[in-house]
Amino acid sequence: MPELPEIEVLKRDLEKEVVGRRIKDANVRPGTNAMKIVGRHGRRKEFQELLEGAKIEHIRRIGRRLLIELDNERTMVVALGDSGLLLKTSATEEIAPNTHIVIEWTIGGHLRLVDPDKKADVYVCPTEDIPTLKELQSDAIDPLDAQNPLTWQHFSSLLEDRAEEMKKLMMDENFILGLGDIYSDEILWTAALRYDRKSNELSSQDVRRLYRALVEILMEAIKARGTTWGPEGFRDLHGDMGTFQHEIKVFERDGEPCRRCRNPLEKAKVAGSFTYFCPQCQV
């Protein structure tokens, strides 16, 4: 699943590549079960007509969702789900399997949504309705929200209010958005905190290290254009893989020497999944 850094990479790509472009045609492709993805619209034609002729004015991100604001007072909301990709292509490029939506620009070229699992959710709504949509409302921390930057003092108070193990808390989308298994493990290793430390038992020094690690790892992941884990993993708007997977220090490296203390890394089961950590230097 694309996590917060990957969605932010796509948001920045879209800002550079599609703002100012006008939509000539929006095709929900028949025979691909694409109506599962645009299911909030009763008919393909309804979805298509809301987009055709509109110009892209602005790109926003709310949590894991991308908001493509149009000049017709509507917004296209895109949630990619577990396997969705947004790809900018030429009009002549062969359409890949599991391509469900093809948006054609008036000046040529396509924006395509590809999703093998068909779990993406795409819809067009009046822009004025955005603040009232339940799925776009959350009290969870968005560590990449430039409009509401997270301070370490506020982060400390939120941690203290919760008496939960750190790995579970870092994976809790009601507490913090978009870290997933990889980033939560890398952040805890960088902060030298064990996965089972209780959030309300952290010292101010622990919280400062955790805050710095959170910012550092997410910024490095964005600079590396995301993490592509496995052959079917994330691709950016141009279809290129991210490279942060080459920087990973602990995730799925159990048995290897810790890069900080050389002690063998271990894994433990947490909430039906695994977490990876160093038993020597994560305390």
Q: Are residues 168 and 80 in the same domain?
A: no
Query: Do residues 126 and 185 both lie within one domain?
Result: no
Give the Cβ contact number of residue 97 at 10 Å: 8
Count the neighbouring beta carbons within 10 Å of the beta carbon of residue 80: 24
Say if residue 40 is in the same domain as residue 113: yes
What is the rounded distance in angstroms from the CA atom of residue 42 to the CA atom of residue 67? 21
> What percent of the chain has a predicted confidence (pLDDT) above 70?
100
**Greater pLDDT, 189 or 32:** 189
- Whole-angstrom distance, CA of residue 224 vs CA of residue 243: 5
What per-residue confidence (pLDDT) applies to 42?
85
Alpha-carbon distance values, 161 to 96, 158, 277 (Å): 48, 5, 25
In a 10 Å sphere around its CB, with 0-12 CB exposed, 13-18 middle and 19+ buried, how is residue 72 labelled? middle
pLDDT at 147: 86
Q: Are residues 170 and 205 in the same domain?
A: yes
Answer yes or no: do 159 and 234 share one domain.
Answer: yes
Same domain, 118 and 178: no
* Residue 156 reports pLDDT greater than 90: yes
CATH of residue 247: 1.10.8.50
Q: Are residues 273 and 167 in the same domain?
A: yes
Domain identity same for 193 and 227? yes
What pLDDT digit, counting tens, does each position of 181-199 carry?
999 999 999 999 999 999 9
Whether residue 58 is contained in a domain is answered as yes
Compute how many other C-beta atoms are within 10 angstroms of the C-beta atom of residue 110: 20
Query: pLDDT tens-digit profile of 161-171?
Result: 999 999 999 99
Asked if the model's pLDDT at residue 32 lies above 70, the reply is no
Lookup result for tokens 């359409």:
95
Q: Tell me, what's the pLDDT at 164?
A: 95
Quote the domain boundaries for residue 229: 152-277
**Do 121 and 208 reside in the same domain of the chain?**
no
pLDDT digits (tens, 9 = 90+) for 212-240: 999 999 999 999 999 999 888 999 999 99
pTM assigned to the model = 0.95
Q: If 0-12 CB within 10 Å is exposed, 13-18 middle and 19+ buried, where does residue 212 land? A: middle
Do residues 130 and 186 both lie within one domain?
Answer: no
User: Are residues 128 and 162 located together in one domain of the fold?
Assistant: no
Q: Is residue 184 part of a domain?
A: yes
The answer to whether 227 and 244 have CB atoms below 8 angstroms apart is: yes
The percentage of residues in the chain with a pLDDT greater than 90, rounded to a whole number, is 90
pLDDT in tens, 39-51: 899 888 999 999 9
Q: Are residues 273 and 157 part of one domain? A: yes
CATH for 44: 3.20.190.10
95 pLDDT higher than 90: yes
pLDDT tens track for 104-118: 999 999 999 999 999
CA–CA separation, 238 vs 16, rounded Å? Answer: 12
How many Cα neighbours within 13 Å face the side chain of 165? 11
